[in-house]
Amino acid sequence: MEYARMRLELDGPVGVVEFDRPPANAYDLGFLEELDQVVEEVRRSDDIKILVLRGNDRFFSAGADINMFLGASPEEIGKFALFGHLVLDRLERLPKISIAAITGHAMGGGLEIALACDLRFMAQGKAQLGLVEVKIGTLPNMGGTQRLPRLIGKARALEMMVTGRTVGAEEALALGLVNRIHPADKLLPETLEYAKTLARGATLTIGLIKQCVNEGVEQPLASGLALERACGAVAFRSHDFKEGSKAFAEKRAPAFLGR
């Protein structure tokens, strides 16, 4: 499928989505609609095992296009925020690992898109991350008030959001906001190599692990353990478990199929 505001390309088993809305990859309704379509395309694809989202060297995404809000009613803005929540929820629930490869600034809603990904890898250098909405008199409306505290803790997240403070790669890594940092020229190659390594693994089971973590962490322990047992039952019936067990016994590398 062709998209106007982003591109989806395959690099082996990895789907790479490059945002393409110059100059700063600010999103509007059409951008979010396309992101939603991309997520659905990736979900349905048997060829795409891992999803990577990236921007350009200057901006992963600057967040919402403010021009869109000029003259809009609070009700219209609220409907837009609801749609954004739905889109990022579907990204978060994608049964495949998603990685945000951040080479440029990720501000406001741009960071909120990255927060909905499973992993975040960031380039060292000038790029900054922040939920800066308070500086224009509003708050993060794309899930940031909920996802950031769950990721880095309530106190640290609150301080970032009420001040609109931004952080660079090293501090983001120390906070747990990103998983890995790399020199700018190495970020995309390293991210793709990491993604391909995951894609060669037992991707059905990887998706089940993601489901257990994402859903179980919001439940009481007993409910989370029940979810783990249910997902484990699926994994134990899979081709990959049979192949992995046989390969272990035969002292060879397994040939996983993701099913």
Residue type for position 221: L
| Range list for CATH 3.90.226.10 in the chain | 6-199
Band of the pLDDT at 17, cuts 50, 70, 90? very high
Q: In what order do the strands lie in the sheet with 129-130?
A: 59-61, 105-107, 129-130
pLDDT computed for residue 199 by the predictor: 98
Q: What is 6-199's CATH topology? A: 2-enoyl-CoA Hydratase; Chain A, domain 1 (3.90.226)
pLDDT computed for residue 10 by the predictor: 97
**Mind listing the pLDDT tens digit for each residue in 120-164?**
999 999 999 999 999 999 999 999 999 999 999 999 999 999 999
Q: Has 75 been annotated as catalytic? A: no
Tokens for 217? 């962490």
**Mind listing the pLDDT tens digit for each residue in 48-71?**
999 999 999 999 999 999 888 888
Is the pLDDT score of 236 beyond 90? yes
Residue 234, phi then psi, degrees to nearest 5: -65, -45
pLDDT computed for residue 205 by the predictor: 98
Query: Which residue in 2, 76, 112, 250 is the catalytic one?
Result: 112
Three-state SS for the chain is CCCCCEEEEEECCEEEEEECCCCCCCECHHHHHHHHHHHHHHHHCCCCCEEEEECCCCEEECCECHHHCCCCCHHHHHHHHHHHHHHHHHHHCCCCCEEEEECCEEECHHHHHHHCCCEEEEEECCCCEECCHHHHCCCCCCCHHHHHHHHHCHHHHHHHHHHCCCECHHHHHHHCCCCEEEEHHHHHHHHHHHHHHHHCCCHHHHHHHHHHHHHHCCCCHHHHHHHHHHHHHHHHCCHHHHHHHHHHHCCCCCCCCCC
Query: Which residue in 34, 40, 133, 218 is the catalytic one?
Result: 133
Cα–Cα distance for residue pair 190/235, rounded to 1 Å? 29
pTM of the model: 0.95
Cα–Cα distance for residue pair 17/39, rounded to 1 Å? 10
Q: Has 170 been annotated as catalytic? A: no
Q: What is the CATH number of domain 203-249?
A: 1.10.12
Q: What is the mean pLDDT of residues 22-47?
A: 97
| Range list for CATH 1.10.12 in the chain | 203-249
**Mind listing the pLDDT tens digit for each residue in 65-113?**
988 888 889 999 999 999 999 999 999 999 999 999 999 999 999 999 9
